[in-house]
Amino acid sequence: MITAPQSQNHNTDKGFTLVELLLVLALLGMVLAGIFQFFFFTNRTYADTDSMSQVIQETNLFISQIEREIRSASKPNDATKAVRVLNNGEQIDIYLYHSSDDKYERISYRLNPSNKTQLQRGSISAAASQSVPGTGSNPQYGAIPEDAWKTLVTNVANHSQNATLFTDISDDQYLTSERRHISIDLRILDPDSNRSVTVQTSAMSRSGRSKTSLIAAGGADAIPASNVIVLYNGSPITSIQTDWRGKTFSVIGKIEPLAATNRSIKWS
């Protein structure tokens, strides 16, 4: 007797179980999250660096410009200093004399009165005067027009009472120098990265009213020391030749002129 073959069911379908599918999705999400974080961090770092580079560029341009102008400053007349700090350190006036065209100029830097986060620069020229720089009451200057102010630096941070933008550190209790020594403390806050940049520097004007760079507190001209003579046994010496090994001898330093008001010297 021939029997019919019995049918057999073979399950050949392949796939993921629900648990496997959830595990794969979880791993894929972690990988994608890592890739996203990498690209996001890279892009954010680039944006922050670009923003900070613009802040630093603005700052460097301002510092190089104002240092150059302070070093070239000179007294415009007897009543005015070569560099003046005004408004509690929020403004500075720098006076220049251009001998090539006999022109006097006042350059000012200030925090914008209506927006203290902006550092501005303005200038005004005075008419040619018959008086030499630093004599009499000439030249006369007018006010800088509002449309002549140009913003150089933005996002200037607030300065406390102990950290002003401009400070005149020239004066001491003994002498008042016609050469002005100005300290600059600029603080800028980058709004994108919320990080601050602080630049501190100082500059001194090279010239005053005349060859005498110091004026005594009472108004009399100070006489600077011009020379130092080294004396040995009462005679000036320029060189010493000796074979006194291990021995010492004494010399005397004499400051000229004898009427010099500031007789401090440094040996080196």
- Domain boundaries, given as residue ranges, for the chain: 57-209, 223-256
pLDDT for res 224: 58
Higher pLDDT, 140 or 156: 156
pLDDT for res 21: 76
In this prediction, residue 1 has a pLDDT band, given cuts at 50, 70 and 90, of low
**Rounded Cα gap, residues 49 and 228, in angstroms:** 54
What mean pLDDT comes out for the span 121-136?
Answer: 69
Per-residue tokens: 261 = 């008001």
**Rounded Cα gap, residues 96 and 225, in angstroms:** 28
In this prediction, residue 102 has a pLDDT band, given cuts at 50, 70 and 90, of confident
CA-derived radius of gyration, the chain: 36
* Predicted confidence (pLDDT) at residue 213 exceeds the cutoff of 50: no
What mean pLDDT comes out for the span 35-55?
Answer: 66
pLDDT for res 148: 93
Residue 77 β-bridge partners: 80
- C-alpha neighbours within 13 Å on the C-beta side of residue 110: 20
In contact, 188 and 61? CB cutoff 8 Å: no
Question: DSSP H helical segments within the chain, as ranges?
Answer: 18-71
In this prediction, residue 2 has a pLDDT band, given cuts at 50, 70 and 90, of low
In this prediction, residue 143 has a pLDDT band, given cuts at 50, 70 and 90, of confident
Range name among 113-127, 167-181, 191-205 with the lowest pLDDT average: 167-181
Strands (E), 191-234: 195-204, 214-216, 227-232
For 167-170, which contacts have Cβ atoms below 8 Å and span 24 or more sequence positions?
167/85, 167/89, 168/83, 168/84, 168/85, 169/202, 170/204
* Predicted confidence (pLDDT) at residue 219 exceeds the cutoff of 60: no
Decide: helix, strand or coil at residue 57: helix
Residues across the chain: 268
pLDDT for res 214: 36
In this prediction, residue 161 has a pLDDT band, given cuts at 50, 70 and 90, of low
pLDDT for res 123: 94
**Rounded Cα gap, residues 82 and 215, in angstroms:** 14
What mean pLDDT comes out for the span 52-80?
Answer: 85
* Predicted confidence (pLDDT) at residue 262 exceeds the cutoff of 80: no
Alpha-carbon dihedral sign for residues 129, 133, 137, 140: positive
pLDDT for res 211: 33
Range name among 27-41, 67-81, 215-229 with the lowest pLDDT average: 215-229
Higher pLDDT, 65 or 4: 65
pLDDT for res 140: 73
What mean pLDDT comes out for the span 191-202?
Answer: 80
